[in-house]
Amino acid sequence: MSGAGNDFIVIDNMKLATSMQEEQIRALCTRRTGIGADGMIMIEPSERYDFTMKYYNADGRMGSMCGNGGRCAVYFAHTLGVAGSSTVFEANQRRYEADVTENSMVRLNMTDPEDFRDAFEVCGHTCYFVDTGSPHTLLVTEDVDSFDVDGVGRAIRNNTELFPEGTNVNIVQVTSPTTIKLRTFERGVEAETLACGTGAVASALLCRKLGLLDSCNIGVTVRSGDLLQVDFSQEFRDVYLAGPAKIIFRGEVDL
């Protein structure tokens, strides 16, 4: 599946018939020699809600919340009949609500942001931080297309003094009072991805908090060219992420 360019291997595991080791997940997510994906999602039963989403990074390790992955999980569960057009599910012991709208669009209620950090210097850049279910560092540029996302992103991500558990790194260009353009270096993928849902949320929230945007309804253009919509209250609560979630192909793989 693709969530605005974030691609995932999504598995129906409602019968709990599938169990994989870290190295198997990593092999399947490795491009050119595996299926290739930014991560793997298992749709599993939940005792309280419609389903449980288990998300694994491309390195095979259990990941934190993935916004675009969550939207893909919702659409996939909807196609399975596990969830209706409105659903409640859990991921990492947290409750999420979402709606499937027309044209494979999914709107997901995200967790409230935590741990806002004001300006600090890292690797020669002024950065900001917020946790939107995953840790995100932001820096603002006037030309995101020519920015060295891999070099700078990798250096900041691996600054263990500031980020003992690592961080995702978002490079943002403000394109209007209500829109931004985003590129993200993702922890766990260890590379730039074509989109990042929690990164889009973090970037919209921080840019609004910094006074760079004059709205709480933000359009975020990601590297794939797709548009994500981020909405939140004036108090930076009631955060929603909306955008496309599409099934690209179905298949079987021999483990």
How does 78-91 read in b/e, with b if 16+ C-beta sit within 10 Å?
Answer: beeebbeeebbbbb
Question: Across-strand partners of 148?
Answer: none
* Residue 155 DSSP SS3: helix
- DSSP E strands, the chain: 2-3, 6-12, 39-44, 51-57, 86-91, 94-100, 105-109, 114-122, 125-131, 135-140, 168-176, 179-186, 191-193, 217-221, 227-231, 240-244
Pick the catalytic residue: 127, 196, 207, 216?
196
Catalytic site includes residue 66: yes
Query: Which DSSP symbol is given to 215?
Result: -
Please give the Cα distance from 191 to 124 (Å, whole number).
20
Q: For residue 118, count other CB atoms closer than 10 A to its CB.
A: 8
Question: Across-strand partners of 185?
Answer: 169, 192
Reference 184, options 166, 172, 173; nearest CA is 172
Pick the catalytic residue: 29, 66, 72, 207?
66
Catalytic site positions: 66, 196
